[in-house]
Amino acid sequence: MENAIFALWKRLETLYATKSLANRLVLKQRLFTFCMNEGELFRYNISQFITLLNGLKNIKVQIDDED
């Protein structure tokens, strides 16, 4: 059972946490163009922003001060 869970996790990681240049650029673009939606709750907007930052962190993208 443990091996199946590990295999599933690795598969999910390869599908959704790829470190490709295209994925890094898309996530950075989302960060740079992120804006809060007035129609949404503040906590929802913050949650979306944190999810975006975690996505960048998971693929080890460094955000420079210049960015």
Q: What sign does the CA torsion over 27, 29, 35, 37 have?
A: negative
Q: What's the number of domains the chain is made of?
A: 1
pLDDT greater than 70 at residue 29: yes
CB crowding 20-37: b at 16 or more within 10 Å, else e:
eeebeeebeeebeeeeee
Closest CA to 27 of 36, 17, 41: 17
Residue 67 domain-assigned (yes or no): yes
Give the per-residue pLDDT at 8: 87
Residue 34 domain-assigned (yes or no): yes
Residue 9 domain-assigned (yes or no): no
Band of pLDDT at residue 17, cut at 50, 70 and 90 = low
Q: How many CB atoms sit inside 10 A of residue 40's CB?
A: 11
CA distance 36 to 10: 33
Residue 43 domain-assigned (yes or no): yes
Look up the domain containing 64 and give its range. Answer: 19-67
The whole-number average pLDDT for the span 41-56 is 92
Residue 50 domain-assigned (yes or no): yes
Residue 61 domain-assigned (yes or no): yes
Residue 12 domain-assigned (yes or no): no
pTM beyond 0.95: the answer is no
Q: Which residue has the higher pLDDT, 35 or 15?
A: 35
